[in-house]
Amino acid sequence: MNILTMDTSNQLLGVAIVKDGVTLGEHVMHGHRDHSVRLLPAIEQLMKETKTTPADLDRIVVGQGPGSYTGVRISMATAKTMAWALGIEVIGVSSLEGLAHQGELFSGHVCPFFDARRGQVYTALYASNNASLEQVQEAVNPLFSDWLEQLRTRDEKILFLSPDIEMYRSMITEMLGEQAVIPEGALHYARPSVLAQIGAVKKTDDVHQIVPNYVRMTEAESNWLKQQEQHK
């Protein structure tokens, strides 16, 4: 099976082509402000480098969010359009799940998160046993301080993974102390080839029904609801 993966849900733009479980090529670039102009050229370049044609593709896997509203929409719209035009399968994978798999060799709980501004984060919780991950808390959008209070009650080491780790490192260590495990470097960034591996075994989505997982309402939706309440 030939899989094209794309993810622009957060700071990194990532694309990968995986054939029968083997990563043929992977491009990762930083700078989410340029995702809208970089994604298609990145896909085209990678397909040239791996000698992959559109007709070779069997499935498209896309980072479904949560994350940047605009970023999630960029890759989602691109994936849906390509899948529909090529008549192939499309699968959405949680961006948090993709990041959590960076810690799948850890023994304990894995907490991936993304900054959501105003002290809030997008996060979830997974249990890792050195071989597989199991989600034990679905994606939520709490104040990070409240989330850490909940995690502190768990009598187990917790691995924190996030491209925004430096924004919250001191809060994590102050509240959880030695219970918190914070690795260095590249583990804080999800790889598109990992998303492909996750998506390879997931049930396909309807190309017309798959939507971003924002976890919380967009600002436009929130403002619209407030307007409706005012007019009642």
Which regions of the chain are under pLDDT 50? 218-226, 228, 230-231
Number of C-beta neighbours around residue 151 at 10 A: 21
Domain boundaries, the chain: 2-95+189-220, 100-181
pLDDT at res. 32: 61
CA angle 112, 127, 111 (to 5 degrees): 15
Which architecture characterizes domain 100-181 according to CATH?
A: 2-Layer Sandwich (3.30)
CATH of domain 2-95+189-220: 3.30.420.40
2-95+189-220 and 100-181: identical CATH topology: yes
pLDDT at res. 218: 47
pTM, to two decimals? 0.89
